[in-house]
Amino acid sequence: MKNLLFLLIVVFIVSCTSNTKDIKSQESTKPNVLFIAVDDLNNWISPIQNFSNVKTPNFDRLAKMGVTFTNAHVQAPLCGPSRASIMTGLRPSTTGIYGMTPDNKIRRPGNKSTKEITFLPEYFEQNGYHTMGIGKLFHIHAPDSVFNESGGRVRGFGPYPKKRFVWDGLGTSKSKKEKYGRTSTDWGAFPEKDSLMPDHQSVNWVTERLRREYDKPFFMGLGFLRVHVPLYVPQKWFDLYPLEDIQTPPYKSNDLNDIPPVGLQINDLPMMPSTEWAKESGEWKKIVQAYLACISYVDYELGRVLDALENSKHSDNTVIVLWSDHGYRLGEKGTFAKHALWETATRAPLMFAAPNLPKGKKINAPVEMLSIYPTLLELSGLPAYKRNEGYSLVDMMQNDLEIDSSYALTTFGMNNHAVKADGYRYIRYEDGTQEFYDHSIDPNEWTNEAKNPKYKSQIEKMKKLLPKINVKWDAKSNYTFQPYFVNQKKRVNEEEAKSAKVVDSH
């Protein structure tokens, strides 16, 4: 009997040891994930538009490693709601996160959609990953305890010189400070060395961790602060772009004549330089030069990350995704800002590289940043997360599936939406007014064709893609820099309060 008992114990121990080894083996075969966010990066990089002969060899390098989406669109043309959408896998119209929301308030008991949501990095942790993150990933950095290891984030978007170079961040709104916020908008060569940039320090942190060995796969987030304003980087990056060689984007002074009133209210941004001011002052090329310089600086830092990965033990088993939280207008539609439902504000780079993806492939179908969450799960061999409202792009990347039916939806404030599909852009504002552009003949969106009977059937088709649910503003989400959004939230709350009184009275 004792011998039998001893034998059973031995078998049990061997079985447990074997199962533990199998689990560890399964974990070690899962790919690592390198998750790279670039703030305010539009599509000027060389793998996509190659605007004004921009110099981005490392973006080209990443493009050759995998798949580049040249027509990807954000779910909100503002960093806070855009990043919340990516990290929750939910649309702004579902969560009510239309403005800036503190990282720790995205998931809270008072929000029915987000109160039990699993953030993207957390899903990987729950499935056996060691998670790490540094820099701007959510609106600020990340909610508390989202990462196993956090490098935090340097506050603001510095370093800053003692005096602004050109713009004071107030613009023509100086007499209306109570209505408009001050921005970091400015441009010039500063500081002296790359090593003084917070992004350089973030890459040092990532590089050091890529040298380590791990007993489980890792998820590592890196959030670059540039190319967010102020457009400050060292002089050597400006030297790449002589002013006489700079191109400026297409612009028409009367471009906004056919825009509905709500669109004009949203575009009321006196704290940003206007294109007319930039032309008259001779600053337009200088702003574009500064933006290009910032892109090339980020490209350099991206190269340092790719070098570190290539020289590590993780190079053959790492999924890379690179994305931006929205596009950026450099004079299009009369200003220098994101903050719009037009093409140049909603379109941004999206790139994937993975062992099981094609190399050097480009896809021009409209897709959404909302797809990042489910795509990473599939590329990593993890089970799908049922709460995701986006869909995985793996079949599209591997087999060209769903390219013809693909579309992208962007939301800015409650019930203002843009749909990109079939080479068209359709915009519908909260009051029912519309814009419609045929990109085959009007890529700059200069002529609003919403009232043209020629496009009636296409407009009706795109209307069906608008979200059926448009929840009210989340109580913790605000955008106080612009009066339209302040007034919209206030109005929605007042209407809700009136409705509640009527119900109570009955």
Average the pLDDT over 22-30 and give the result: 56
Q: Which residue has the higher pLDDT, 41 or 172?
A: 41
Is the pLDDT assigned to residue 501 strictly greater than 70?
no
16 is catalytic: no
Which of 139, 141, 326, 339 is an active site residue?
139
Residue 21 banded pLDDT, cuts 50, 70, 90: very low
Domains located in the chain, CATH noted? 29-505 (3.40.720.10)
Average the pLDDT over 364-383 and give the result: 98
Predicted confidence (pLDDT) per residue in 406-443, tens digit = 999 999 999 999 999 999 999 999 999 999 999 999 99
- Residue 232: name the closest of 199, 210, 206 by CA: 199
Predicted confidence (pLDDT) per residue in 302-345, tens digit = 999 999 999 999 999 999 999 999 999 999 999 999 999 999 99
Is the pLDDT assigned to residue 177 strictly greater than 90?
no
Predicted confidence (pLDDT) per residue in 481-494, tens digit = 999 999 999 998 88
Is the pLDDT assigned to residue 16 strictly greater than 90?
no
HSE on the CB side for 162, CA within 13 Å? Answer: 0
Predicted confidence (pLDDT) per residue in 198-257, tens digit = 999 999 999 999 999 999 999 999 999 999 999 999 999 999 999 999 999 999 999 999
Average pLDDT over the chain reads 93
Is the pLDDT assigned to residue 377 strictly greater than 50?
yes
Rounded to 5 degrees, φ, ψ at 214 are: -130, 150
- Nearest-angstrom CA–CA distance, 137 and 354: 21
79 is catalytic: yes
Please say whether the beta carbons of 91 and 467 come within 8 A.
yes
- Nearest-angstrom CA–CA distance, 459 and 473: 27
Query: CA distances (Å), 490 to each of 107, 441, 479, 480, in order?
Result: 22, 40, 11, 11
Predicted confidence at residue 494, as pLDDT, reads 86
Please say whether the beta carbons of 290 and 328 come within 8 A.
no
Which of 79, 228, 326, 339 is an active site residue?
79
Please say whether the beta carbons of 145 and 103 come within 8 A.
no
Predicted confidence (pLDDT) per residue in 82-97, tens digit = 999 999 999 999 999 9
| pTM of the predicted model as reported, rounded to 2 decimal places | 0.93
Q: Which residue has the higher pLDDT, 4 or 445?
A: 445
% residues pLDDT > 70 (the chain): 93
Report the alpha-carbon angle 219-220-224, nearest 5. Answer: 150
Is the pLDDT assigned to residue 1 strictly greater than 60?
no
Q: Is 98 left (phi over 0), alpha (psi -120 to 50) or beta?
A: alpha
Residue 179 banded pLDDT, cuts 50, 70, 90: confident
- Nearest-angstrom CA–CA distance, 249 and 331: 7
